[in-house]
Amino acid sequence: MPFLTLAEAVARHVRDGATVALEGFTHLIPFAAGHEIIRQRRRGLTLVRMTPDLIYDQMIGMGVAARLVFSWGGNPGVGSLHRMRDAVERGWPAPLEIVEHSHAGMALAYEAGASGMPCAFLRGYRGSDLAAVNHQVKFVPCPFTGEDLACIPAHRPDVTIIHAQKADRAGNVLIEGIVGVQKEAVLAARCAVATVEEVVEEFGPRSANAVILPSWTLAAVAVVPGGARPSYAHGYYPRDNAFYVAWDEIARDRDRFRAWMQENVIEAAR
Amino acid sequence: MNYTPQEMMTVAAARALSNEDVCFVGIGLPSAACNLARLTHAPGVKLIYESGTLETRPDVLPLSIGDGELCETALTTVSVPEIFRYWLQGGRITVGFLGGAQVDRFANLNSTVIGPYDRPKVRLPGSGGAAEIATGCGQIFIVMKQGKRSFVRDLDFLTSLGHGRTGRERSALGIRTKGPTLLVTDLCLMRPEPETNEMIVTSMHSGVTREQIVENTGWDVRFADTVEQTPPPTQDELSVLRDLHERTARAHGAAAGGEA
């Protein structure tokens, strides 16, 4: 597992047309990595994420994505993701195919991928029209009880990218706080990249059950302080709620959105 | 003491929770109602958010479902797959709170799309946890502001199952949880009629007329034989709720709302 710069890690591991998962449940969203994918002008990606959040709104609006696999596409506590809506409702800047799940379905599909299973079973999607519009949702009878269970294919991203608090010198990565679905998303992927706030000599005192991804589960680690902003990193910085509110206005208008991205992402060298 | 219809709605939802409940909480109004219950008559209520925080005791209302405040005040924080598998699907949650853009007479909810799915007029956020919360929790309380555009005859999309399009789908699908037992609005309380599972008005908030309720419902709304009067918020309920909102506004620089 080499330490790379973020630009090197994205150049090496994120290819046009790939299936890419950037995970982090409200907490530790890998914004810097998403911005680097935009700067390197990747095209035709299948973006996988439970809550697309602002980062996928930005990537979709910049024309990175051909397909979105998700379960909740809003701006938490604020309202709509206007770029995602524009793509779904009006095909701007490009039509966006959507594959829509529930949270339980998405979480278990990652878990199935991490477990080496072809599919996940759950008591889910029952009575919901989601099963009618997502043809990946099937119902199969339990061989023991006959109960109809929902079955969906496992997520196997070509690459998963996460942000975490710390790596040690050996490249092991520690995640604390709301750990979301990152461990599953990393272990489900063919290749995984972590950005971290800092590198420490060693992790020091911690719970015996701390969530640590061993270095050999990762293809690269990049040190990117502030790499989750405007999301947050427990123990480092809080969520920039004011930016989430401000984004509503920025993203509403196509020109304003493009100008903001040009100034703050394209021309912002990290 | 004066109060707003929104405060009445939050207080009425909070009262429905008991000290023994284990509650799956959504952001916005449900979060305010659940924490109000915890800070008044139900100090023992266990609040669980889908970000994995078990028994959380936030001092201020979170803006998103995964705010640091939830994790810092929780008994423990588990992963998102675990919350949905062991805690929700495992049957540990007694009450789930849901809302949506549309509700119908059988308390089915739409939070996915207005217009056709393939050519949406308005693309809404989608299910999030709702589709499985609706069937996995012991019972469901729905909290929604009442109006003709949201209380509709026919949903554009059924995201979360209530009692189904005919009122009978839960038992037909072998679902053993109760589903929606209470719909709290800013005008009234509705509960399922025992034989049909249609939501009917069982209690009206103070100062609200039957005409107002009819005008703000997209189906031919019916009233129970005996319709009660919802007791207005007490001084204690109002002051705890307002303190909570004030602390929240100071912490976020804005009121909390929305879901994640």
Q: Tell me: the pLDDT tens digits for A56-114?
A: 999 999 999 999 999 999 999 899 999 999 999 999 999 999 999 999 999 999 999 99
Contact list, A155 vs chain B (CB under 8 Å): none
| Residue with tokens 């047309």, as numbered in its chain | A17
Q: What's the average model confidence in pLDDT over A31-50?
A: 98
Using the Cβ of A80 and the Cβ atoms of chain B, whether some distance falls under 8 Å is answered with: yes
SS3 category, B244: helix
**CATH superfamily, region A6-100+158-266:** Glutaconate Coenzyme A-transferase (3.40.1080.10)
Task: Parse chain B into domains and list their residue ranges.
Answer: 5-252
**ipTM associated with this complex:** 0.96
Residue A210 CB coordination number (10 Å): 12
Is it the case that residue B259 has pLDDT exceeding 80?
Answer: no
Are B59 and B100 in contact by the 8 Å Cβ rule? The answer is no
Q: Tell me what pLDDT residue A225 has.
A: 98
- Second-level CATH architecture of B5-252: 3-Layer(aba) Sandwich (3.40)
Measured distance CA(B106)–CA(B108) in Å, rounded = 6
The model carries a pTM of: 0.96
Which among A81, A102, A135, A239 is the top mutation candidate for probing chain B, defined by the most B β-carbons within 10 Å of its own β-carbon? A102
Q: Provide the mean pLDDT of chain A.
A: 97
Is it the case that residue B253 has pLDDT exceeding 80?
Answer: no
- Name which of B89, B131, B257 is nearest A128 (Cβ-Cβ): B131
Is it the case that residue B255 has pLDDT exceeding 60?
Answer: no
Is it the case that residue A245 has pLDDT exceeding 70?
Answer: yes
Are A31 and A250 in contact by the 8 Å Cβ rule? The answer is no
User: pLDDT confidence of B256, banded at 50, 70, 90?
Assistant: very low
Q: Tell me what pLDDT residue B66 has.
A: 86
pLDDT tens digit sequence for A154-170:
999 999 999 999 999 99
* Residues in Cβ contact with B179 at an 8 Å cutoff, skipping those fewer than 6 apart: B107, B134, B135, B139, B140, B161, B162, B163, B170, B192, B197
Q: What is the β-pairing status of strands B76-77 and B53-54?
A: antiparallel
Q: Tell me what pLDDT residue B64 has.
A: 84
Task: Parse chain A into domains and list their residue ranges.
Answer: 6-100+158-266, 103-153
